[in-house]
Homo-oligomer: A and B are copies of this chain.
Amino acid sequence: MSAADAVTDSLENLRARFIGVRDGKPADYIPQLALADPDAFGLALVSMDGHRYSAGEADIPFTLQSVSKPFIYALALSVLGLDEVSRWVGAEPSGEAFNAISLEPDTGRPANAMVNAGAIVTTALIPDTPEEPAFDRILRCLGRFAGRELDVDEEVFSSESVTGDRNRALAYLIRSTGTMPVDPVLAVDRYFRQCAIRVTTIDLATMAATLAYGGVNPVTGEQVVSAEVAAQVLAVMATCGMYDGSGDWLLRVGLPAKSGVSGGLIAVGPARFGVATYSPPLDATGGSVRGHAALETMSQRYGLHLMLNPALPGSTVTLVTTADDLPSAPSAEHERVLHEQVGVVVAQGSIDFTAAERVLYALDESGPNGGSVVLDLHDVTSIDSVALAMLHTGLARLLSDGRRAAVVDPRDLLGPPDVVREGTGQDLPRYATREDAVEGCARALAGEG
Contact = CB atoms under 8 A, between A and B. Distances in A.
B172 A176 contact: no
Given A172-B172, A256-B307, A314 B4 contact: no
A86 to B, nearest CB: 8
Given A246-B93, A247-B90, A357-B51, A352 B311 contact: yes
B238 A250 contact: yes
A287 to B, nearest CB: 14
A361 B51 contact: yes
Interface residues of A, number: 110
A213 B171 CA distance: 44
A3 B398 contact: yes
Contacts of A235: 247, 250-251, 254, 305-307
Given A312-B213, A314-B381, A352-B303, A172 B175 contact: no
Contacts of A136: none
Contact of A112 (B174, B247, B256): B247
Nearest to A319: B379
Given A3-B363, A91-B251, A254-B235, A49 B313 contact: yes
A421 interface: no
Contact of A313 (B9, B48, B306): B48
A353 B302 contact: yes
A371 to B, nearest CB: 14
A248 B129 CA distance: 30
Contacts of A353: 302-304
A331 interface: no
Contacts of A175: 165
Interface string A160-175: 0000011011111111
A230 B307 contact: yes
A349 B346 CA distance: 13
Contacts of A48: 312-313, 354
Interface string A422-446: 0000000000000000000000000
A240 interface: yes
Contacts of A176: 165-166, 168-169
Contacts of A49: 313, 358, 361
Interface in A47-76: 47-49, 51, 53
Closest 5 CB pairs of A and B: A315-B349, A3-B394, A169-B173, A169-B172, A165-B176
Interface of A: 1-7, 9-10, 47-49, 51, 53, 82, 90-96, 101-102, 111-112, 165-166, 168-176, 184, 213-214, 227-228, 230-232, 234-236, 238-240, 244-248, 250-252, 254, 256, 269-273, 301-316, 348-350, 352-358, 360-361, 363-364, 379, 381-382, 384, 386, 390-391, 393-395, 397-398, 400-401
